Amino acid sequence: MKIYYSLENFPVLNCPVLTLGTFDGVHIGHQKILSHINDMAKSVNGESVLMTFHPHPRAVIFPDQRDIRMISTLDEKIALLEQHGIEHLVVQSFTRDFSMLNHDTFIREYLVKKIGVKKMVIGYDHQFGHDRKGSFAELQSLAPQLGFTVEEIPEQDINDVAVSSTRIRKALFEGRVEDAAGLLGYNYTFSGRVVKGKQLGRKLGFPTANLECPDPLKLVPANGVYAVYVIVNNVKYKGVLSIGTRPTFDNGARSVEVNIFDFDRDIYGENVKLIFKNYIRSDQKFDSVDALIEQMHRDKARSLELL
């Protein structure tokens, strides 16, 4: 997959088949669209093109909204799109000025003039451009005169999949990682750099790696304990993850801490990837440290059973 962060040097392609959108999470609904444009590109001896936007438009248009969280970081989204066979990815910088472009200018200057779109596929009821006034109807009216065709994924096809990024975010915010995996088509992941913590886990006999995600908009699932796989330097381990405020000790800042099984190495400063498998229990306060340690042993046993 070739990636372009600017359209200034976008190459002349043989029959570009295009779709566009934020594609946050690249879930099974998105995957249906990707499969369709790939198949269409092959049928006309063309090339598949996806235009996405970064940062997420909501983060730019509504900067004061503190509840905006993304299922995938840009790097995660790129990796997922590559897995699904997209040949050309355009990462369009989404700025305040760009958000003011009307749909007509966007279609003419970006999609036709710079990308050279010949065929376009969009999801049902997809809207774009300033004030989201661009629509399938607008594309249909402009397509003949601008030399491309446009197709909309039928409403029934979208309803059959019954999935949306909003629905996935809700599941994750509620800790329902198994439900989220079913909607995504893969287990939810979270990557972060290992940073110094309070080392409480080590004192309890369960040393943990404290993770800090470089993207502040990356969604952290609900507080609780989870069975997870942990990827360290491309090696997969089993582990148990705690997300919460350490209520038994200090009810401090929210943290993401993972106890990696059968692992004893200093990895401060390294990047670690978590793969969420199952929710085990809520984050809770215990009457004593001994009671907490007993529960941590049960959590480990449960995690091993689930993994």
- CATH homologous superfamily, domain 188-306: Riboflavin kinase-like (2.40.30.30)
Q: What stretch(es) of the chain map to CATH 3.40.50.620?
A: 2-163
In this structure, what token pair is assigned to residue 300? 């480990």
Q: Can the peptide bond before residue 214 be classed as cis, meaning omega within 30 degrees of 0?
A: no
Contact between residue 210 and residue 261 where contact means Cβ atoms under 8 Å apart: no
Phi, psi of 172 (to 5 degrees): -70, -40
**Exposed, middle or buried: residue 237 (CB in 10 Å: 0-12, 13-18, 19+)?**
middle
| Residue 257 is among the residues annotated as catalytic for this protein | yes
Q: Tens of pLDDT along the chain (307 residues)?
A: 999 998 988 999 989 999 998 999 999 989 988 999 999 999 999 999 999 999 888 888 887 777 789 999 999 999 999 999 999 999 999 999 888 888 888 888 999 999 999 999 887 556 665 555 566 777 877 888 889 898 887 654 555 555 788 899 999 999 999 999 999 999 999 999 999 776 665 655 678 889 998 888 999 999 999 999 999 999 999 999 999 887 666 666 788 999 999 998 888 899 999 999 999 999 887 877 788 888 889 999 999 999 9
Query: Which one of 47, 87, 152, 257 is the catalytic residue?
Result: 257
Q: Which pTM value belongs to this model?
A: 0.87
Q: What angle do CA 134, 23, 194 make, to 5 degrees?
A: 145
How is residue 242 written in tokens? 């705690």
| Residue extent(s) of CATH 2.40.30.30 domains in the chain | 188-306
Instruction: Estimate the crossing angle of helix 177-184 against helix 165-173, to 10 degrees.
Output: 160
- Residue carrying the six token digits 């099974």: 28
**H-assigned helices in the chain:** 28-43, 57-61, 74-83, 96-99, 103-105, 136-146, 155-161, 165-173, 177-184, 200-203, 289-306
> Alpha-carbon distance 178 to 50, whole Å?
29
What CATH superfamily classification does 2-163 receive?
A: HUPs (3.40.50.620)
Please, are residues 122 and 18 in contact by the beta-carbon 8 Å criterion?
no
DSSP tag of 70: B
